Chains A and B, each alone.
Chain A
Amino acid sequence: MQVKVTEGGFDEQQFLSAVASGAPPDLVYVDREIIGTYAARGAIQPLDECISSAQIDMGQYRPAAVQQVTVDGKVYGIPEFYSVRVMMIGNKAVRDAGLSPAEVDTTDWSKLAGMAEKLTVTEGGKLKRIGFDPKIPEFLPLWVKANGGALLSEDGRTAQLNAPKVVEALTTTAGIVQASGGWGKLKSLRDSFDFFGAKNQFAKDQLGAFPMEDWYLNVLAEASPDVDITVAPFKDRQGNPLTFVTGSAWAVPKGAKNPDAACRFAKTMTEASTWVAAARARAEARAKKDLPFTGLYSGNKVADEQVFGEVYKPSGDAKFDDAVQTVLAVQEVAFATPPSPAGAEFQKAWQDAVNRVLTGQMEPAEALERAQGEAQAALDKAAGG
């Protein structure tokens, strides 16, 4: 089999034009969040036949990942990475504020704004350190879930954006932003971070804490291995660990010329032996540079067991070793947003609402009420209602 790869990220415009013109690629690598929309539009094809003919064991994949690629009982993608969120805490910031990393806990929402304020540093009108970045709009689903709610119904057809639990989550997180310097300053400082470099926000003490995807551990381990951080689980309001998962998937476009070969490729790319080979390669590359290896986190549970059983070895650097264990532990309590026929529009509706609140244009209830109308209209239209 010869594989020709288009370099660069997934280009929606290029993909749709290719499908519309009847000359799509055989296989695409996309965010699982967009699978529902493409499935509803008929841009990708169900893989049930491919799964049975290629004998792909769907049981090996994590349920939350499979849920994201399953629309009306049919599987439309083979899950790849599995990216969860954990709390990353700058130890110096916490010490300066007279706190301990364990106190940076999201259980008690009444204390969050106060804690953020303590961690925040402003000098001469300029924000020098963001106390606690709740990462909204992006992570609003996590905060809503921590509050016992959800943005979207289980079947992906009904928006729940104006529910009291959502309003409360947005009000609380907007308050944290305000206590951390206010949106204007916070975002400006965040935009200036050397996020992937040695002078990143933790190395430069520009951030107290934030929830973040697990892949960032790999970045820190490579760019600034000596950074002083603590990684802890994000917790819901009952104090239970909670995380939100996203990731990618392999999908076969409508009209693909070689669906069988595409299917075999997706199977190979996501099976345990492939992940183990990739993990070995990365571990060796890290070892050559004398840097810690912080693991690979896939949507294949069997693969992860083998990677962390056979390849991964604790580095001896407690912060990274503990972080790896934290990530592995929270994978078991991960949730995913259900696939939706109007994923992009639904997401834009609630993100616009958050931005209107953060920029002071609207109050949370008003913004979410408007978003509810926009989102439900898009969902109804996409579902043909």
Chain B
Amino acid sequence: MASSATGRRARASGMSRQETRWAWLFLAPWVIGFLVFTGGPMIASLVLSFTEYDVISAPKFTGLDNYRQLMSDPAVAKSLGNTVFYTALHVPLAMAVSLGLALLLQRVGRASGLFRTIFYLPVMTPAVAVGILFLFLLNGQTGLINAMLALVGVQGPNWTTDPAWIKPGIVLMSLWTLGSTTIIYLAALNNVPRELYEAARIDGASSWRQFRHITVPMISGALFFTLIVNTIASLQLFAEVYTMYFGNRATQESTTDAALFYVVYLFQQAFQFLHMGFASAMAWLLFLIILAITVLQVRVGNRFVYYEGD
């Protein structure tokens, strides 16, 4: 008896070890990829952030100089301010519009597959193409957006040249690619049990109360996830803005501080001015800011988010 139990335990333990080995084997490409392409460069950039390094010559240790410069460089504060402003405007707006679209898609019925595809298609457009497209659409004198505003008697601003309107213009552009968030919300909405709505209707709850007290709590997990992901993506916005305002010599020469986003300035420091050490320090500051915001969001979010199985 005892020997058969020991044998079963030994077999189970052997299988477990085998499964573990297989698990590591399947995980290996991602683990190796992370170590080589993310973890390694992160450590390298941390080391470089304490040096003066122009890519060509060997790095020179400068202690905390780059971090001190971060505090004194007005362009760092300006670019960070622009990025935070954009994030504060873009994230809630993107979430609200995506949720609205998902609610509409849920009601479309049979044709929802077609509309899902249509709403998702812009996500497939390369960021560079989106940037160029919106440079034309947002043109204050000849752009389509101001032409449409003119139809309702509104004289649109110079979206691409007036510093006060550049960031709102970029936010407008960012709403082009809401497909992913919309699809996530649609999936979450479809998972809300119908009987909850039926019970609420029997109790005489209005549509708004059903939305407020059933829909929002039940999809709060999806809302929370997109809040975090969109915040991180917004703080790292680069390709579209770079294409619009820094993509070629002509745009670069006549752009304003209003379009200087944090990662754009980081890129300029690294590859235009060859201050790779300073750019590394900028990258680490951004990493810490994102980490702090995400931790805060998780702490606050956990109080309001409903997870299945809670």
A contact residues vs B (CB 8 Å cutoff): 12-13, 16-17, 19-20, 37, 41-43, 125-127, 137-138, 183-185, 187-189, 191-192, 254, 342, 344-345, 348, 351-352, 355-356, 358-359, 361, 378
Interface string of B238-265 (1 = CB under 8 A from A): 0000000000001001111110000000
The answer to the question of B57 belonging to the interface, with a C-beta cut-off of 8 Å to chain A, is: yes
In the bound complex, residues from chain A placing their C-beta under 8 Å from that of B255 are 355
On whether the beta carbons of A41 and B56 are closer than 8 Å, the reply is yes
**Main secondary structure on chain B at its contact with chain A?**
loop
On whether the beta carbons of A184 and B140 are closer than 8 Å, the reply is yes
On whether the beta carbons of A16 and B55 are closer than 8 Å, the reply is yes
The smallest C-beta distance from A311 to any residue of chain B, in angstroms, reads 30
In the bound complex, residues from chain A placing their C-beta under 8 Å from that of B142 are 188-189, 192
A-B contacts, 13 listed (Cβ < 8 Å): A19-B56, A41-B56, A41-B274, A137-B254, A185-B141, A187-B161, A187-B254, A188-B139, A192-B142, A348-B273, A351-B254, A355-B255, A359-B163
On whether the beta carbons of A344 and B253 are closer than 8 Å, the reply is no
In the bound complex, residues from chain A placing their C-beta under 8 Å from that of B141 are 126-127, 185, 188-189, 192
Interface string of B47-58 (1 = CB under 8 A from A): 000000011110
On whether the beta carbons of B56 and A188 are closer than 8 Å, the reply is no
The smallest C-beta distance from A200 to any residue of chain B, in angstroms, reads 14
On whether the beta carbons of B257 and A12 are closer than 8 Å, the reply is no
Number of A-B contacts (CB under 8 A): 85
Q: How distant is the Cα of A41 from the Cα of B256 in the complex, in angstroms?
A: 28
In the bound complex, residues from chain A placing their C-beta under 8 Å from that of B254 are 137-138, 187, 351, 355, 358
On whether the beta carbons of B162 and A42 are closer than 8 Å, the reply is no
On whether the beta carbons of B140 and A185 are closer than 8 Å, the reply is yes
The answer to the question of B135 belonging to the interface, with a C-beta cut-off of 8 Å to chain A, is: yes
On whether the beta carbons of B160 and A188 are closer than 8 Å, the reply is yes
In the bound complex, residues from chain B placing their C-beta under 8 Å from that of A358 are 254
Which residue of chain B is the closest to A352 with respect to CB atoms?
B257
Say yes or no: A41-B54 contact (C-beta < 8 A), given A16-B274, A191-B139, A359-B162.
yes
Q: How distant is the Cα of A302 from the Cα of B173 in the complex, in angstroms?
A: 52
Which of B55, B158, B253 interacts with A185 by CB under 8 Å? Answer: B158
On whether the beta carbons of B160 and A344 are closer than 8 Å, the reply is no
Which residue of chain A is the closest to B163 with respect to CB atoms?
A359
Q: How distant is the Cα of A344 from the Cα of B252 in the complex, in angstroms?
A: 11
On whether the beta carbons of B253 and A138 are closer than 8 Å, the reply is yes
